[in-house]
Amino acid sequence: MTFDKISVPESGEKITMGEGGKLNVPDHPIVTFIEGDGTGRDIWRASQRVLDAAVDKAYGGSRKIAWMEVFAGEKAWNLYGQNDDAWLPQETLDAFSEYLIGIKGPLTTPIGGGITSLNVALRQKLDLYTCLRPVKYFDGVPSPVKHPEDVDMVIFRENSEDIYAGIEWAAGSDEVKRVITFLQDEMGVTKIRFPESSGIGVKPVSQEGTARLVRAAIQYAIDNMRDSVTLVHKGNIMKFTEGGFRNWGYEVAKNEFGAVEIDGGPWCQLPNGIIIKDVIADIALQQVLTRATEFDVIATLNLNGDYLSDALAAQVGGIGIAPGANINYLSGHAIFEATHGTAPKYADKDMVNPSSVVLSGEMMLRYMGWTEAADLILQGINGAISAKTVTYDFHRLMDGATKLSTSAFGDAVISHMGSDEEPRPEDQYDELAERFKELFEAGAEKSSEFAQIAMEKARKQLTAAGAFSEEQGKNLKRFLERDFSQMANTMRDEAKEKLNPARVGAGAMASLSALLNMAGSAISSIAERTQKAISCRSGEITSAGTLTCNACGHELHFKKTGRVPPCPKCHATEFRKSY
């Protein structure tokens, strides 16, 4: 195939769809990309570097993406002649069609008249019927909810039908008059309250369209050992469209996957235990907030999925970290893209978070079977966030973070890829203190017994999450218990303002002093029971404070969490602590 403005990289080969729905991905695959409008330009530059670095680190040069730029939006309009067809040139569609896999930045869609959405047009023209939007929490990301770690959902949004089909006529137009006359005269419709000034939109929802989407969602749940698939719809009001979606969804579960009704239905269960259930869309928007653990895979219609994906993104840190994919599982065609738009006020400022497109790239690499490179991207993002080196959106919500530009954040992600550095015990200790504080705050009870339960729970949770080994966790908890007891004592004996959270810095000291200020003397009795553990020894980790050598009285001042050295004066190894 030859193109007018698109240059096909000579070094690359096509990705093709093989037997049994399996992709054939060569070592130098041609992957199409659209840079995007507005912030898309900054984001794409950073993302492309991150993706290339991940592939290079994972395969040492034996695999490499041959990028092929294709055009849509403002760049295409300028390049292809500034006419209506230039926004989404035919050769862009042909290139996506021919080369199967692509990734794109966001494209602008004006509200009201003018061009229709290029994003939606791409999905429809290539019949990318699934919009896949995973929503999960990265440790350390600021969130407006108490337990963002409870959110681990995957949205399957129907991508080709619903009110997004673009079948609508403007109020007052000849077309809308003909539609309204038809509805009134031939269909007996009497419910159009203001026929003279109504715009009309049509909402097609089909059994085939629903079935292929729900089938993909259930298959995903099976392949990824998820617990449930929830059909989200507004079928109580829109009975034959959203209600149809619900009923056809259950039929797919029963007829194709052997689901059996639970207690007379409509909820049912697959032979492997996966629950298929449904929730009405309005209450679903509340329950994803209040009962996040009850949602896993979600299958829903186009508009509901659009709302849900932005709302859920907020729970795990915002739209800056919300990736997505548009996929036709039958043909293999897929275009990966962020959930967010062009954020025009930040365009060309090298400021916004590129994570959504970087993580869309991570999904793309996984889809291609390049899982080692995909894993490196997750490691890089996790590393950059844990080091508190973040873009403006996270920076404004995080204490003690460093604000990076879009490009510098890309560098930070790359620098954390494949790093075999052991995490520092000081940081692990701070993490344990922070998790302990969160769990203690979340509990209704504020007693010393509960403090011990919360500390043990924090240790177990973080061990399970891989933050440290079982043995490291036990040691860190011992040090934390000691410091906590010491501070609880201080709380009783010394001036309260010494441990005023406003006066202490970040790290474990901040977590513990905030906690003691909140719970006060109710937990100071913990000190009595652990008196013997109160001295600090060389080699142990401790929070900020003053250490006084038991042998010579020399003082060491810790401004933040650190490892206790031998006494620099007399080399003794035992200290008592004060604040």
Ligand X SMILES: NC(=O)C1=CN([C@@H]2O[C@H](COP(=O)(O)OP(=O)(O)OC[C@H]3O[C@@H](n4cnc5c(N)ncnc54)[C@H](OP(=O)(O)O)[C@@H]3O)[C@@H](O)[C@H]2O)C=CC1
Ligand Y SMILES: O=C(O)CCC(=O)C(=O)O
- Show which residues are catalytic: 164, 234, 282, 306
> Judging by beta carbons within 10 Å of its beta carbon (0-12, 13-18, 19+), is residue 348 exposed, middle or buried?
exposed
Determine if residue 241 is labeled as part of a ligand binding site: no
In the complex, the smallest distance separating the C-beta of residue 120 from ligand X, rounded to whole angstroms, is: 9
Angle between helices 40-59 and 371-386 (to 10 degrees): 120
- Expressed in percent and rounded to 5, the helix, strand and coil fractions of the chain are 45, 15, 40
CA distances from 293 to 89, 151, 493 (A): 44, 7, 43
Question: Using CB under 6 A, which of 47, 48, 109, 573 touches ligand Y?
Answer: 109
Determine if residue 45 is labeled as part of a ligand binding site: no
In the complex, the smallest distance separating the C-beta of residue 310 from Mg ion, rounded to whole angstroms, is: 5
Based on the shown chain and the rule CB under 5 A, indicate whether residue 306 belongs to the binding site for Mg ion.
yes
Q: Calculate the dihedral angle through the C-alpha atoms of 201, 343, 34, 159, rounding to the nearest 10 degrees.
A: -30
Please give the biggest Cα pair distance in the chain.
Answer: 101
| Residue of minimal Cβ distance to ligand Y | 109
293-312 positions binding ligand Y, by CB under 6 A: 306
Number of other residues whose CB lies within 10 A of the CB of residue 560: 15
> Residues 6 or more apart from 225 whose CB is under 8 A from it?
none
Question: Using CB under 6 A, which of 242, 337, 431, 434 touches ligand X?
Answer: 337
Q: Calculate the dihedral angle through the C-alpha atoms of 383, 31, 20, 224, rounding to the nearest 10 degrees.
A: 20
Q: What is the 3-state secondary structure (H, E, C) of 53-97?
A: HHHHHHHCCCCCCEEEECCCCHHHHHHCCCCHHHHCCHHHHHHHH
| Residue of minimal Cβ distance to Mg ion | 306
380 binds, among ligand Y, Mg ion, ligand X, none (CB under 5 to 8 A by kind): none
Angle at the Cα of 119 (from 376 to 180), degrees rounded to 5? 150
- Per-residue mark of binding to ligand X, 304-333 (x: CB under 6 A): ---------------xx-------------
Q: What is the 3-state secondary structure (H, E, C) of 2-13?
A: CCCCCCCCCCCE
- Per-residue mark of binding to ligand X, 385-424 (x: CB under 6 A): --------x-------------------------------
In the complex, the smallest distance separating the C-beta of residue 131 from ligand X, rounded to whole angstroms, is: 10
* Choice between 342 and 511, CB closer to ligand X: 342
In the complex, the smallest distance separating the C-beta of residue 286 from ligand X, rounded to whole angstroms, is: 22
SS3 assignment, position 330: coil
Based on the shown chain and the rule CB under 6 A, indicate whether residue 385 belongs to the binding site for ligand Y.
no
Angle at the Cα of 436 (from 526 to 540), degrees rounded to 5? 75
| Strand pairing report for 297-300 and 275-280 | unpaired
Determine if residue 108 is labeled as part of a ligand binding site: yes
Of 31, 113, 39, the closest CA to residue 73 belongs to 39
Based on the shown chain and the rule CB under 6 A, indicate whether residue 352 belongs to the binding site for ligand X.
yes
- Per-residue mark of binding to ligand X, 100-129 (x: CB under 6 A): ------xxxx---------x----------
- How far is Cα 234 from Cα 189, in angstroms, rounded to an integer? 22
Based on the shown chain and the rule CB under 6 A, indicate whether residue 481 belongs to the binding site for ligand X.
no
Based on the shown chain and the rule CB under 6 A, indicate whether residue 120 belongs to the binding site for ligand Y.
yes
Stretch that binds Mg ion, among 138-146, 294-302, 303-311, 399-407 (CB under 5 A): 303-311
Annotated binding site for D-threo-isocitrate: 117, 119, 123, 133, 157
Annotated binding site for NADP(+): 108, 340-346, 353, 392, 396
Residues that bind ligand Y (CB under 6 A): 109, 117, 119-120, 306, 339
Annotated binding site: 108, 117, 119, 123, 133, 157, 306, 340-346, 353, 392, 396
Residues that bind Mg ion (CB under 5 A): 306
